[in-house]
Structure 1
């Protein structure tokens, strides 16, 4: 894959991006540019698994799907890989999940990549009209829930360790931050 990445001239198309196939790194497509990051840390992945464990029963009860680290097509040539996604019913064999099917996107902020999750992805998810965005801050242990409003994400609620974040949409669940983080 390295040769394909570095031997490429000009902007990447969605077709070229998809032709890369599965990789060990997270390779995301943002408007013709590839964003390549190493695999997440074990701590990051443990948080994602714990979050998925909390959200999955509520998603199933609502007739929704919970998925981790999948391609979400926000628009042509814009495909991020969020940490956790809740969708409506979808074809589980498709390479991309369409943004219109996504109900909630969760990102776990990595200290070395914080601006991407807090600024770039938040903007792109809101622009794609993803209704809910949950941000998990590893450094502070806090959870931030945002609701899409007129193409922007507006903070709906937060919870610090010792507190409780309650979601009523798209699923009914209460999350204690300390159960996700040490």
Structure 2
């Protein structure tokens, strides 16, 4: 179906992928295959925006950038679009952020896509060397913070509604689940 809709068969290269600029929906590249998702639900978008609002000032204070839904090259041919990333200073005109510049990656777990966020992305982000990974479970409001240990992540904390997550690295921020979830 993807080849018919997008007009190409067979493995996709980064150049093929970048030529799709302007397509609707979220299109990601995973090892020669495209992963196409519809736009996130309004609930997902609200959680993402609220988290972005909390992290933006903290990132700036640390001399870092907060970006939403950007291409992140984990390695050649592997380009997801995370919900939020905190990065080192970057070139704003480049079509992709390199994984080596990402300090924290954040995903809002969509119920229809939970396996991708909790298994596939977790593996890929850790293997690419991204130090911190924050998952927001939109159904429960639970925050799961992971830190890279080798090529995998170790869960550092689980924050449920009524609790508080105090981030100290790579940015200093206080996050309350009830401030994120509508």
Please tell me the TM-score bracket, short chain as reference: over 0.9
For the Cα contact (< 8 Å) 2:3–2:9, is it kept in 1?
A: no
How far the C-alpha of 1:134 sits from its partner, in A, is: 0.2
Matches within 5 A, 1:40-119: 40-119=40-119
CA deviations 1:36-67 (Å, max 9, x no partner) are 00001111111111000000111000000000
2: distance between equivalents of 1:80 and 1:5?
Answer: 20
Per the alignment, residue 161 of structure 2 pairs with 161
How far the C-alpha of 1:23 sits from its partner, in A, is: 2.2
RMSD between superposed Cα atoms in Å: 1.2
How far the C-alpha of 1:141 sits from its partner, in A, is: 0.7
How far the C-alpha of 1:4 sits from its partner, in A, is: 6.7
1: distance between equivalents of 2:93 and 2:10?
Answer: 30
2: distance between equivalents of 1:149 and 1:65?
Answer: 24
Moved over 3 A (4+): 2-6
How far the C-alpha of 1:24 sits from its partner, in A, is: 2.0
TM-score (norm 1): 0.97
Q: Structure 1 20/45 Cα, relative in aligned 2: closer, same or farther at 3 Å? A: same
1: distance between equivalents of 2:90 and 2:45?
Answer: 24
2: distance between equivalents of 1:5 and 1:65?
Answer: 35
Matched position secondary structure for 1:17: helix
Which consecutive unaligned segments of at least 5 residues does structure 2 have? Answer: none
Select the structure with the greater relative contact order (CA < 8 A; seq sep ≥ 6).
2
Which consecutive unaligned segments of at least 5 residues does structure 1 have? Answer: none
CA deviations 1:45-99 (Å, max 9, x no partner) are 1111100000011100000000000000000000000000000000011000000
